Structures are given as C-alpha cells and as structure tokens.
Structure 1
Amino acid sequence: MNIFHTKGWPLASQWRHTHAQSHLRQVLAQELCKIREAGTWKEERVITSMQGVDINVQGSHKKLLNFCANNYLGLSSHPRIIKAAEEALRKYGAGLSSVRFICGTQNLHKELEQKIAKFHNREDAILYPSCFDANAGLFEALITKEDAVISDELNHASIIDGIRLCKGKKLRYKHRDMTDLELRLREADGCRMKVVVTDGVFSMDGNVAPLPDIRKLADKYGALMFIDEAHATGFFGNTGRGTEEFFNMTGRVDIINSTLGKALGGASGGYTTGPAELVQFLRQRGRPYLFSNALPPPVVAAGIEALNILMSSSELFERVRANTSHFRQKMSQAGFTVAGENHPICPVMLGDARLANVFADKMLEKGIYVIGFSYPVVPEGKARIRVQLSAAHSKEDIDKAVSAFVEIGQQLNVVD
C-alpha cells in the first residue's frame, strides 16, 4: 500500500505540470541534448561494493581495477578505519541532529580538531561538513570590502564559489604565473588585507603551486598566503604533510584548508587550520559551520584513526610514491603524455572529449575503471583520462592498467 497516496498525496504521475514547469523541461531538454551531442555527457557508474582497488560495478560481471578514486592511501576500506567507525557508531550514535554551537559538539570533534592542528603543526583547527564548505565559510567571513583576494585562475570550483561570496576586491592571476601575480598584488595596494589563494596541488593537472615564489611575493607585498591541500594532505611531502613540506617550507603558509574525504579515510568533512584567532573567529562567523549539522561520529572517528595511522608509520605514503613513479615511467615509455609532476594524479592527455569517453569505455571492458574528463571539468581541447594511484595498488595492478592503455591506445591511434 502506498501510504502517501492513501493519505491524499498524489502519485508522481498525477502531479499537474504548470505552463512554467513545461517550459523549464523544454529548456533543459535542449541543454541536455547539446551536452550529449558534444560528447561530454557524464554517466554515473554504480558501485555495489566497498571503495577500494577491486570494486564491483552494476552491469559488470567481473571485479574491476579502480584507478580513479581519491583513495590515495587505500584507507577507505582499511580494517582499522572501519573498526573505529563501527565503535563510534555504537558509542556516539549515527549523528548529532544539531549544529556545533547548540548541542552538536562531542569530545570526538574536539579530539579530531586537535589532531589536525598537531598534524599540520598549527595552533588550532575547525571542522566543516566538507572542504567545499570550508572554502565557502572562510572567504565569506574573513574578506570584507576593505580587503582583496588574489586567486589562481585554475583553483578548485569550491575556492571560486567561496570567493564569489565575499565582499572584497576579487582578482585573478594566470595559472602559476608569478609575473601576473605581482601585477595583481600591486593592483590590490591599499587594501586592509591581501590574501593570495591557490590549490597546493591542482586536481585536474597534478601540478604543484610554486609556493616558494608565492611566499616571496606575498612577503614583499604584505599578503597572507592560503592553500587548499585536498590533493596533498596525507601523502604528499616527505611525511605526508602536504605541499609546504614538499618545498621544505613547513609553517610558512598562513591558512590551510583540506579534506577528510580523500586520503584521510575517504568519507566526508573538511577543515581550516591556522592561527588560533582565525579559528575562533570562524566558529563565530563561518556560516557553513554555524548552520550545518556536526560531522557524524563514525566519520569523525575514521578521521582520527586515519591520522593515527599516518603519524605512526611512513609505509603508506612511501608506497603511493613508488606506485606513482612506476606508472608514470611505464606510460611515458609507451608514448603517452602524462601531465603534471610526480604526483599520484596522472592525467593521460587525449585532447578530444569524445575520444576520452570512448577510451574510458574500452578500458572498462578490459576491467580497468577510469573516467574520461572533458569540458566543463577541464578546458575545451584538453580532455583526458585522469588516473589516480593508491598505496593499495600492487605493481601487478599498475602493469595491467598500462597494458590496457597501450592496447586501446594502439586501436584508437593514440600511440604507435
């Protein structure tokens, strides 16, 4: 029995469509048709297993090797992470049903914030539902009409949207172009505060922000330096502390935002870490913090355990580093162009959007799960298959993926 129907609620087929809604459907149908015709349609494949190296996908009768998750350390289904989450679920429940300042703060939240600050060698940290929210919460609260924010043109969409929310002067500099950054800093002369904003590692290209050069210019013009470390925290740098460690400049970045949803367990949650006064201010003014439910206890416990694993052993980030070097070397030898620097984001450049999607579909037939990336996720004419390496991949897994790339690349005249 349909309880909604019996209580007077109409079935979906009985909803009356207004003229305005019919017009909306028509407009959207045309736009969707254009996306399909351009070859940039993004199909969601349904995974029916845990996230990991070997996954089950709806419609496939065999396990697939997964090379496109942000699961850099293989912690998404790690036994210690699962155990920590299960124990927290039993002890603390499924969720808080509240925001942090009302009755949504548990000792687990404070423990994780302290551990994040310790991991980054900062004074304090504040949790958000996601790193997207951390970026929205920071700029809107911090940047007033008296201030300026100067952002790399290829920064993540969450940074772009977060900056849109603020009332300050908004300036963009060309990607990793220090000459253009200096021009923008001069343009911001006279502002109360200036903040240079960049991804630490750029997610679509796997390249790294030139932090030493940015720091030099920021100091010259009295600017703060902000980095988003979503694709660096936990596995980049000598001990996984991220981009500033990669450049041997730990502690030189003023504000760091990052995520729990990639290397640190793969669930959800983001954070800001930096000066204690900044964190206190964000607890008072950060809208995504003040108006969103607290992170669920199992997610928080998983984040704590992920940091425990990282801070006790270098095994996982050493393994992902070795896997990255092996894949990049093999693919280059085969004739593929792999963009970016020595980072586990390995974009295999193909150029044409339709080619990227066809290539990815053929890889799936070979048992390799990868995705074609095209506009608007990446610029037009720069379509690619973004391969992501994990500590959980074996050398045999990587060699199998490279063999499939070579076979299909030859079929599609991408390599000889």
Structure 2
Amino acid sequence: MTQQAAVDVFAKVRGHERAEILAAAREADVIPYFRPMTSPAAPVVEMEGAERVMLGSNNYLGLTADERVMQGARDALEAYGTGLTGSRLLNGTTPLHLDLEREIAEWMGTEDAIVFTTGHQANVGTLGTILAPGDTVIADSGDHASILDGCLLSRAKLRPFRHNRLDKLERALERAAGDGGGVLVVVDGVFSMEGDVAPLPEVADLCQAYGARLMVDEAHGAGVLGARGAGASELLGVEDRVDLRMGTFSKSLASCGGFVAGSAEVIEYLRISSRAFLFTASSVPAAVGAALAALRVLRSEDGPPLLAQLGENARYLRDGLHERGFKVVEDGSGIPTPIVPVLVEDDWKCALLWKALYDEGVFVNTALHPAVPPGGALLRTSVMATHDATTLDRALDAFSRVKAAFEAEHGPLPGPAS
C-alpha cells in the first residue's frame, strides 16, 4: 500500500502572500518585469514595439556596442566555438581565461584572480568555500542577495548589521570575537539599489582593530569609480586593506561572468575547492572574449574619458530629477555613482509610476518590498557613459510630464529633501 506525503510540496506556489496583488498588477498591465527588449543594449532601445530611453541598465560604460568588444566576442567565437561543454577544471580553460585572470589581477593590483561563469557564483562560490561552520560572517543588510546566499551556504554564523551603520558593525565585531572562529566582513563597495558607497576606510579600520578579514563586492564599483576604474576600494584608498575583491562582467565590462581577486594562496584554494567553480560549465568563449576586450578598453587611454563622462551623466540626471521635484536618494558622500534612485515609498504607486514612464518612452527599474524595506519603494534609474544630454533631457521631460499627471490623479509624490 502506497503512502502519500501529508503536504504537496508545490502547494506553496498557489495562493501565496503576493498572488493577489500580482494578479491585480497583471490585470492593470503594470508589472515592470520581463518586458522583452528587441534591440541591442544602448542608451535608446526598442521594447515591445516602441523606442524607449534606457535608464534601467547596468551597461555603465556603454561598451556592449563598442566595436572592439564585439570583435573580441567574434574572435573568441571563431577560435573556440559556441561553448566549451565542460568545467574549468577539465576541458573548459582556454588561453582567454588565463589572460583575463592575469589582467584582472593587474587591474586590481592583487596577486591573482579567478573567473567564475556568473557573478552570483563568484560570491556563492567564494563565501561558501572560505567560510565554514564555526566561523562568523558579518554582512551589511544592503548587501547583494548573492552574498547572503553564500553566507547561508557556508553555514557560518551570520551577523547582519544595519546598512552602513558603523556602530552596528562594531557591535557585531565585538560579539563575533566571542564566537570562537574566524571572522569575515562582507560589504558592497557600491550598493546596487540605492547607489550609495560604503564607508570603506572606517570599515577597514574596524576590521583591523578586531582582527577580521574584509571582502568587498565591487560589482557596481568596478568600471565606475577610481582613476583606474578599479572600484570603491581604489577610490577610497583602501586597496591594500581589502583581502578579497569581487566583481562582475555584466555591468561595465559588457559581458557575463564574475571574478574574485586577492592573494595567490586564497585564489588557488578557490580553484581546487570551490564547488561553484569546479562543478559548473565554463563561460562561453564569446563572453570571455568580450569581457577581456572591454577590460582592455577600460585600461587603455580611452578608459579615463569614459569614466569621467559616466560621472558627469550621473550628476546631470541626479540634478535634473531633483530640480523637477523628485526625491532622489542620496548618501551624503558626494560621490556620484550611475545609480540614481527616486523614492516613491508606496509599492503600488511605484508600479503605476513605472508604467506611466514606460508609456512615455522611458524604461527604469522598480525596487519593491521585499527587495527594499517596507515603505522604501523606489524607481532605480541608471545612466551610461554613452548617454548624451539630448537623450537625458528627453527622459527628464518625460519624468516632468508623468509627475504632473500622476500627482493630479493620485496625490503628491515624495519631494526633494530640504
């Protein structure tokens, strides 16, 4: 006689807590996700049959359309085919991977670097390997989800602290001192939703004082900040005090993948121990070729002007939104990043505002609970170095029109901070 499980494991997918609001959003056609794009990633794209200014991309340097980067992908495709069909450990390592790892280490100023197939795997594969039960990991509450996933995978004791609160970090370090194992602090250099920069000098000071190691996720800082574009650690002068630096290819480096840079002994340990590295297929050659070509553009004489233009465009969009009466989230550091968030507060209003902008020909991202705290819904806008003033003005004019119409029907939006 067969027995059936008391609960259907699929039951959770029916009638979950967000099902009703999701159904209403679908009915109103205000779901801001999974909208097909039918053109290359560029400052202006085609989505669902119409041109839209792209203010929702992480293509910060605009290199996805750079002929040198596309040629790098083509050359890799011709040389190695469409895929390597194996892990890096076995048949999935090419000279391109080795060149990319060497040049990343040179760029980051570290002894070595390791390339993962995705950025998510870079964090999960590093944290899940370096940490172990008995260790403690201290993470900023604003850290990327892949960091949390890696922390949970490791089964180390997790001590989160409130976003960018140094007093809370110090308290966590004090408590971790009694946990008995090693201690690792992990923070984003540039936080992906708010675009604010971590206070890395102070974080490094605290790590040094309590004997903790420090890892910085530079996914949104690499190719954005610093004279070399090496990230927040470079800009803030703490490269020599950061033990591990993670980055991705899916933002400024115009491809897909991730890396971790650090000491030779740690990187070698990851190469032979990280399950996310050992047991996944190697990056497709075109992705590696594109990332390597983009890195070479960034490190060439063309890199500094791109970085400067990106900062100028970020300031232009931020100032423009502020002047038009939007509440732009700012961290007080004065460091411009290409992520320019507009606080809306209410999830439903945020979705409606997104749709109004979309209909006016502007694509932005939305961040709703639980991606942000309750009451923290925001429109996440972002710029590229290749946006020009005419295109940004076109987007800002759309914001003005949408704001006036929206407030006439739904009431005032949060205004600029005084």
TM-score by length of 1: 0.90
Residues 329 and 42 of structure 1: CA distance in aligned 2, closer, same or farther (over 3 Å):
closer
Which residue, 144, 152, 156 being the options, matches 2:140? 152
The separation in 2 between residues aligned to 1:295 and 1:153, in whole angstroms, is 30
Q: Which residue of 2 aligns with 1:227?
A: 216
Residues 36 and 146 of structure 1: CA distance in aligned 2, closer, same or farther (over 3 Å):
closer
The separation in 2 between residues aligned to 1:42 and 1:25, in whole angstroms, is 26
The separation in 2 between residues aligned to 1:56 and 1:38, in whole angstroms, is 26
The separation in 1 between residues aligned to 2:166 and 2:152, in whole angstroms, is 23
- Give, as a single letter, the amino acid of the residue that structure 2 aligns with 1:364: Y
The separation in 1 between residues aligned to 2:362 and 2:31, in whole angstroms, is 20
Tell me if 1:249 matches 2:234. no
Which residue, 19, 27, 30 being the options, matches 2:15? 30
Deviates more, 1:217-226 or 1:135-144: 135-144
- Give, as a single letter, the amino acid of the residue that structure 2 aligns with 1:221: Y
Which residue, 272, 275, 279 being the options, matches 1:287? 275
The separation in 1 between residues aligned to 2:82 and 2:324, in whole angstroms, is 49
Aligned to 1:139, the other structure's residue is in SS state: helix
Tell me if 1:404 matches 2:398. yes
Q: Which residue of 1 aligns with 2:329?
A: 339
Q: Which residue of 1 aligns with 2:370?
A: 376
Please say if residues 201 and 237 of structure 2, whose CA atoms lie closer than 8 Å, have aligned partners that are also in contact.
no
Residues 181 and 53 of structure 1: CA distance in aligned 2, closer, same or farther (over 3 Å):
same
Q: Which residue of 1 aligns with 2:295?
A: 307
Aligned to 2:194, the other structure's residue is in SS state: coil
Q: Which residue of 2 aligns with 1:330?
A: 320
Q: Which residue of 2 aligns with 1:68?
A: 56
Aligned to 2:158, the other structure's residue is in SS state: strand
Please say if residues 346 and 386 of structure 1, whose CA atoms lie closer than 8 Å, have aligned partners that are also in contact.
yes
TM-score by length of 2: 0.90
Aligned to 1:256, the other structure's residue is in SS state: strand
Q: CA RMSD in A?
A: 2.0
Tell me if 1:320 matches 2:318. no
Alignment of 1:76-95 (within 5 A): 76-95=64-83
Structure 1, unmatched stretches of 5+, are 1-18
Tell me if 1:97 matches 2:85. yes
Q: Which residue of 2 aligns with 1:3?
A: none
Please say if residues 357 and 371 of structure 1, whose CA atoms lie closer than 8 Å, have aligned partners that are also in contact.
no
Q: Which residue of 1 aligns with 2:344?
A: 350
Which residue, 77, 89, 107 being the options, matches 1:119? 107
- Quote how far apart the aligned CAs of 1:82 are: 0.8
Which residue, 205, 212, 220 being the options, matches 1:216? 205
Please say if residues 35 and 41 of structure 1, whose CA atoms lie closer than 8 Å, have aligned partners that are also in contact.
no
The separation in 2 between residues aligned to 1:271 and 1:75, in whole angstroms, is 19
Aligned to 1:340, the other structure's residue is in SS state: coil
Please say if residues 144 and 166 of structure 1, whose CA atoms lie closer than 8 Å, have aligned partners that are also in contact.
yes
Count matched residues: 395
- Give, as a single letter, the amino acid of the residue that structure 2 aligns with 1:327: L
The separation in 1 between residues aligned to 2:91 and 2:307, in whole angstroms, is 37
- Quote how far apart the aligned CAs of 1:80 are: 1.1
Which residue, 358, 381, 392 being the options, matches 1:387? 381
The separation in 2 between residues aligned to 1:340 and 1:52, in whole angstroms, is 26
The separation in 2 between residues aligned to 1:228 and 1:197, in whole angstroms, is 7
Which residue, 98, 105, 119 being the options, matches 1:131? 119
Please say if residues 32 and 354 of structure 2, whose CA atoms lie closer than 8 Å, have aligned partners that are also in contact.
no
